[in-house]
Structure formats: C-alpha cells, structure tokens
Amino acid sequence: MIATYNILPGGPYISVDNSIYDSTLYYGNHISGFTEMGVYGYYYVGSHEVFVEYTNNKDSVILSSIKPQIAVSDLSSDLSLSNTYSNGLLKKDSWRNLIGYNVYRDGNQINSSIVTNLFYEDLDLMASTYEYEVTAVYDEGESEISNVVVVTVTQDTGSIEGTVTLIGGSGLVTDVEVTTGGMTTNPTSSGNYSISLPAGIYDVTATLSNYIDSTITNVVVLYNQTTTDVDFILYSLEPIADFSATPTYGCGSLLVQFTDLSTENPTSWLWQFGDGNTNPEQNPSHEYTEWGVYTVSLTVTNSCGSDTETKVDYIIVNGIPIADAGDDQTVLDNEIVNLDGTWSYDPEDEDINFHWRAPAGIVLSDSTIASPTFISPDIDDSTDFAFVLTIDDGECYSNPDTVIITVINNPVSVNEIYPDEFELIGSYPNPIKGRAKISFGLPERSYIKIELYDIRGHFIEILMSKDMNAGYHKIECDMSSLKNGIYFYKMTVDGFCKEIKKVVLLR
C-alpha cells in the first residue's frame, strides 16, 4: 500500500486524503475542524516569518492546549510552549528557517533523510493498522511531535505460483495440499498451482499422505505482483522397488544372485523368478534349470504401502545344443566312410555349426558339415578310430559326442558287418511315446530313403534320404508332434521298395 500524508503550511498536519491547503495558518484537527488564524504570509519549506505577541498574562490560552499541528519547543527563551499567545497586537519576531519534516510510524522514524515535500509515501505495507506522527525540523532543532493519525491498510494482494512433483509412490499430485497464510489449494493434474495472498512474507508448505512434507520459507508477496517458481518435490515414504541380478545370461542351467536395491525401508519382499518359483528373502539366489527367457518381478512392502518392479525378459538361459555323432560303424580299410551328425539339434531350433575332430592321420572332407566323409586307413589289424563331434548355436557349445569307427582288413569278417540282403529290422521301442530308432542293414553302398505314412496310407514325411555305406545303421524318428495311432515306415533302395514296417504311437 502507498499512504500519502499532506502537511499543512506553517506546521505539519497528517492526512490520508489529498486535500490542498492555502497559505492560511490553521490549528485544530481534521475531525473537529480547523480555526483560521488569518493570513500572515506564505508558509512553505524554507525561511518564513512568524508573527507572535508576547504578554505576561498567564491566564491567556496556553499554546499547547490549542493543539497546533506542530509546536516550536525550546527554540529560544522568547518562544516556547510555556509562553502564551494573544490575538492582540502582532509583532514581527524574526526569520526562522524551516528545513523539512521527519515522519514516524508506530513511534519509529521511517524517513532516511529529511522530507522536504508536503507529503510522504510509505511503500509496501502489510495489511495492518498503523499510527503516524510528524515533526518539523528547523535550524535550531526539531519541534514537538504532531497529533497521531491512525491508518488502516487494507489487504492489497499479490500471488505465488509454482509446481509440485512427486517422486515414487502411488500418490496423485492433485491430492497434494499447498498451504500458506491460512489458505490451501490443490495443484492441477500437471502439478501447477497458484494462491492469491495479501502482500507480506510467508512460509509455504506442500503435504501429501505417505510423502515427506516440504516447506519453503520467507516467500515475499508484493502488492499486485506474482512470485513465481515456488516449486516443490515430494518424496514418497512408500517403498520404491528396484533390484539387480548377476549373471543375467548363460547356457544350460544358470545360477543367478539377486540383489535388492529398493529404497524407503521396505520390511518384506516377494520375488517372482518367471519360472513359477518365488522367494521371500531380501537377496536370494535362484537356479534356472531349463532354457528360456524369464521376466522377474520384486514386490516390496512397508507400513506406508507397497511397490513392484518388473524387469521384462531379464534372465536369458540359452539351451545347450545336443551333438549326436551317429552310430558306431565297422568298415573295411581303404573305403569311403560317411560320418552322420544329422541327428544333432538345438532345443531352440537355432542354426547350428558343426565341429568334427578326427584321429591323427585321417583327413575329413569338411569338418564343419553334418556328414563329412573320409577314406578308412590301410591297416594290418582291426583298429578303432574315435571321431568327436561338437556343435554350437552361435552362443552356446554342446557337450562332445564320440562315434567309434572300427576298421578291419580281414575278408572273413565281412559277413559279420554286412548283411546278406537289404533288411528293415524295425523300430525300438514299439509302441513308442514320441522318439524311436529305426534299424536297417545294407549289403552294399546304396541310396536309401525311409518314409513315414499314416494308417490310411497318406504320406507324412521323409525320415531319411541319402547315400549310405554297407553295414548296419540306425536313424532316429521323432513322432512327438503326431496323434496317437498306427503308422508305417517304408524303406526304398535305389528307387525300389524293399520293406515296410509298422510302428504304434501311444502316449
């Protein structure tokens, strides 16, 4: 608020209006009116004349009793409040120099330098009631203090505005209470708020259940102005779930150590590992025994509430490929031999890479394919040769699998390793639950095809189609995707059907 106080010429008078007075000397007060003493000259800040008449009549009116708006006190022995004033003969006493005025609010001087205007502006007042007084300042000193004027300042207002941000928890920003000066408001859904207040200095507080209160002190509100950026960040007292794990990737079975990183003092924990297993410990370990991709979650709780952190596809366990180097074989020396790794597989059906390792002195046609060939060495006695197969899927390696190739040079033993005719021996087991091995014998190297049919004779799939060495062989048949029932498999040699066998699928 700006309050203006007019001062009468010839002595100050405080006023809350803008009345303009002429050079006539007045005494009295604004409520009961003024008494005109006559025009005695121009009264202004600076030198002016004072006309008084002195007598020794103590019964005359005492100057102090008529309450002039300003009185000259002890400026000389000839002019003081103890002297009397008469409307009789006037006598010019002297020139006195009026320097200006001092202004007091509630008994304290508020002007830093002498006021030389006939008004004073008191700025930025809070709403309240104040008492103002004025003195005149002459070369000789300061006059007695003037009458008291009571001024009531109304609630001229300004405003504050800011934002509220919530960290953690499940609270709504629209439920936050921003309180100051006896007023409370709620932010919008975007967190913004505004409060109109009387001009003054305030402490502003933001509160929300299960969050830490926040207070900003000494916020200044000015008349008709907005104080901005009164911003709050409220931190949740509810627990905030978080965790880490190591390792998060591996092949085959994987032992993982989980670590709780939750804040705000949780008192209970519930882990869900994604494979159907749970654990209530704070920092558990867990072993994944099957390949797959697992989503892990942790729920933490305290007296204020609970929170859940979920990490999607967090643990990856890659299935270990299975190497199958094929059945052991007995062959003659100096003969082309086929190795068979075609029954190797990856449980996730990913592409696999082959790595064959041959005994010293034997060279494979290509050690990186499923079925490489080699020439059996020239030997004097029957000898076993071990061939090792390892596969990988680009990430994980299989355990090695070994096939034994027995090389002989005794023709008498030929009938022991080669059948006299083409023979489809059968499947084992039979009935089967899903996978079985089909055995057959070849008296000579031939192109073999084995096909699977249902009971109505409808073709289902080719189980094998390749050149095979003479001897006894086995192939694996996977029927796990088929329905229970009776099926037939047929062996064709060089385009001619040789034999048909029955197999029963029963799960």
Is residue 171 domain-resident?
Answer: yes
Instruction: Assign 421 a pLDDT band (cuts: 50, 70, 90).
Output: confident
Residue 46's nearest CA partner among 116, 109, 94, 108 is 116
Q: For a pLDDT cut of 70, what percent of the chain falls above it?
A: 76
Residue 487 has what pLDDT? 92
Residue 124 has what pLDDT? 63
Instruction: Assign 417 a pLDDT band (cuts: 50, 70, 90).
Output: low
Same domain, 146 and 202: no
Residue 451's nearest CA partner among 497, 400, 486 is 497
Same domain, 429 and 389: no
Residue 437 has what pLDDT? 83
Residue 436 and residue 503 in contact, taking contact as beta carbons nearer than 8 Å: yes
The residues with which 484 forms a beta bridge, in sequence order, are: none
Buried-exposed string 60-71: b where 16+ CB fall within 10 A, e elsewhere = beebeeeebbbb
Residue 451 has pLDDT above 80, yes or no: yes
Host domain of residue 485: 418-505
- CATH code of the domain in which 460 resides: 2.60.40.2550
Which residue's structure tokens are 């249902």?
Answer: 454
Last residue of a domain, one of 379, 412, 445: 412
Q: What is the pLDDT of residues 265-295, one digit of tens each?
A: 899 999 999 999 999 999 999 999 999 999 9
Same domain, 46 and 63: yes
Same domain, 141 and 207: no
Residue 126 has what pLDDT? 67
Residue 423 has pLDDT above 90, yes or no: no
pTM over 0.75: no
Residue 89 has pLDDT above 50, yes or no: no
Which residue's structure tokens are 């095979």?
Answer: 468
Residue 66 has pLDDT above 70, yes or no: no
Residue 339's nearest CA partner among 377, 320, 367 is 367
Same domain, 110 and 48: yes
Residue 134 has what pLDDT? 77
Same domain, 404 and 422: no
Angle of CA points 50, 53, 59, to nearest 5°: 130
Residue 161 has what pLDDT? 95
Last residue of a domain, one of 292, 318, 344: 318
Q: What is the pLDDT of residues 183-228, one digit of tens each?
A: 999 999 999 999 998 888 999 999 998 888 999 999 999 878 899 9
Same domain, 131 and 161: no
Q: How far apart are CA 276 and CA 291, in angstroms?
A: 14
Is residue 22 domain-resident?
Answer: yes
Residue 254 has pLDDT above 50, yes or no: yes
Residue 443 has what pLDDT? 87
Residue 53 has what pLDDT? 27
DSSP label at 174?
G
Is residue 263 domain-resident?
Answer: yes
| Structure-model confidence comparison of residues 65 and 336, the more confident one | 336
Q: How far apart are CA 486 and CA 501, in angstroms?
A: 11
Q: How far apart are CA 20 and CA 8, in angstroms?
A: 9
Residue 120 and residue 103 in contact, taking contact as beta carbons nearer than 8 Å: yes
pLDDT average, residue stretch 239-254: 94
Q: What is the pLDDT of residues 454-506, one digit of tens each?
A: 988 899 999 888 888 888 788 888 888 888 999 999 999 988 888 899 988 88
Q: Which residues contact 1 (CB under 8 A, 6 or more apart)?
A: 122, 124, 125, 127, 153, 154, 156, 199, 223
pLDDT average, residue stretch 318-335: 89
Radius of gyration of the chain (CA): 55
Q: What is the pLDDT of residues 347-390, one digit of tens each?
A: 888 999 999 999 999 999 999 999 999 999 988 888 999 999 99
Q: How far apart are CA 127 and CA 271, in angstroms?
A: 60
Q: Which residues contact 113 (CB under 8 A, 6 or more apart)?
A: none
Q: How far apart are CA 250 and CA 239, in angstroms?
A: 31
pLDDT average, residue stretch 227-237: 93
- CATH code of the domain in which 374 resides: 2.60.40.10
**Beta pairing, strands 401-408 & 383-392:** antiparallel
Q: What is the DSSP annotation of 205-271?
A: EEE-TTB--EEEEEEEE-TT-EE----EEEEBSS-B--EEEE--EEESSEEEEEEE--BS---EEEE
Instruction: Assign 450 a pLDDT band (cuts: 50, 70, 90).
Output: very high
Buried-exposed string 277-299: b where 16+ CB fall within 10 A, e elsewhere = eebeebebebebeebeebebbbb
Is residue 96 domain-resident?
Answer: yes
| Structure-model confidence comparison of residues 507 and 92, the more confident one | 507
Same domain, 171 and 137: no
Q: Which of 356-370, 395-409, 434-448 has the highest mean pLDDT?
A: 356-370
Which residue's structure tokens are 């697992």?
Answer: 294
Helix (H, G, I), strand (E, B) or coil at 414: helix
Q: What distances in angstroms separate CA 25 from CA 40, 68, 298, 410, one per listed residue? A: 7, 10, 89, 154
Last residue of a domain, one of 219, 235, 251: 235
pLDDT average, residue stretch 309-331: 93
Q: Which residues contact 239 (CB under 8 A, 6 or more apart)?
A: 262, 263, 264, 265, 266, 300, 301, 302, 304, 305, 306, 307
Same domain, 13 and 126: yes
Residue 80 has what pLDDT? 26
Same domain, 82 and 137: yes
- The tally of domains found in the chain comes to 5
Query: Furthest-apart CA pair in the chain: how many Å?
Result: 173
For residue 431, say if its preceding peptide bond is cis, omega within 30 degrees of 0. Answer: yes
Question: And the tokens for 275?
Answer: 């494979």
Is residue 323 domain-resident?
Answer: no
Same domain, 164 and 253: no
Residue 265 has what pLDDT? 87
Average pLDDT in the chain: 77
Residue 10: left if φ>0, alpha if ψ -120 to 50, beta else—which one? left
Which residue's structure tokens are 């020139």?
Answer: 95
- CATH code of the domain in which 9 resides: 2.60.40
Question: And the tokens for 204?
Answer: 């502003």
Is residue 324 domain-resident?
Answer: no
Phi, psi of 2 (to 5 degrees): -115, 115
Residue 112's nearest CA partner among 121, 103, 125 is 103
Residue 119 has what pLDDT? 66
Phi, psi of 154 (to 5 degrees): -75, 170
Same domain, 124 and 174: no
- CATH code of the domain in which 230 resides: 2.60.40.1120
Question: And the tokens for 400?
Answer: 């090695």
Q: What distances in angstroms separate CA 205 from CA 113, 163, 183, 254, one per listed residue? A: 40, 12, 11, 51
Q: How far apart are CA 44 and CA 57, in angstroms?
A: 31
Q: How far apart are CA 243 and CA 296, in angstroms?
A: 10
